[in-house]
Amino acid sequence: MIRIRKFIVSLTLMALAVWPACNPAMAQSVQSTAEAYRINPGDELAIYVWGEERLQREVKVLPDGTFAFPLVGQVVAQGKLPQEIEANITERLRDQYRGQVPQVTVSVKSASGLQFSVMGRVKSPGTFSPGRYINVLEALSMAGGPSEFANLDNVIILRKRGTQIQTLRMRLGSVFRSGTGIGIGDRSNVIRIETGDTVIVP
């Protein structure tokens, strides 16, 4: 119970430390450096070509990372930003119009394609779909936090890189032991979770 309380306190203090609401300049900086969401297989997209009801679709990105769209054909979506897909569809519709192509809007209706798993000594292991980018501490929080005898100095992330599996090891024990948030030396360990990651807490 004490370990879980420290975990929650650490996350809370981390959030307060970076919360930019009281500083508009900081807010702008944080917003500009935040990485935009890139499309994953399994995501649901809402696509609108303004003024063209026949070209308004909700599509699901297939396992191969593509989807079909009228007058365009197959569109590669995996790893793309919504704005990049908008530009691709606009360019491929250009031959269908004498004048300017109507505005194309692509939005992520459901980011269900971003999935990761947590295994080992956590309260609620399983597979999760956060719907947004999260870091490894947030991933452990979604899994209920570490159990009493978890070895937080040897947390492993298995990450797919093409046909290869990359192993990332992290030392998170100091974050939980201190209960006072994340120090400068700990921040390199708080990495972002990517789709398909498996977090193992021994």
Q: Which sequence spans correspond to the domains of the chain?
A: 44-110, 114-201
And the tokens for 97? 């119009």
pTM of the shown model: 0.66
Q: What CATH number was assigned to the domain covering residues 44-110?
A: 3.30.1950.10
pLDDT in tens, 146-190: 998 999 999 999 998 878 999 999 888 887 665 555 544 455 567
Distance, in Å, from the CA atom of 124 to the CA atom of 117, rounded to the nearest integer, reads 11
And the tokens for 90? 């606009």
For the four alpha carbons of 168, 186, 136 and 132, in that order, the dihedral sign comes to negative
pLDDT in tens, 159-168: 988 789 999 9
The CATH number of domain 114-201 is 3.60.70.12:
no
Residue showing tokens 């937080």:
152
- Looking at the chain, how many residues does it have? 202
Distance, in Å, from the CA atom of 21 to the CA atom of 80, rounded to the nearest integer, reads 30
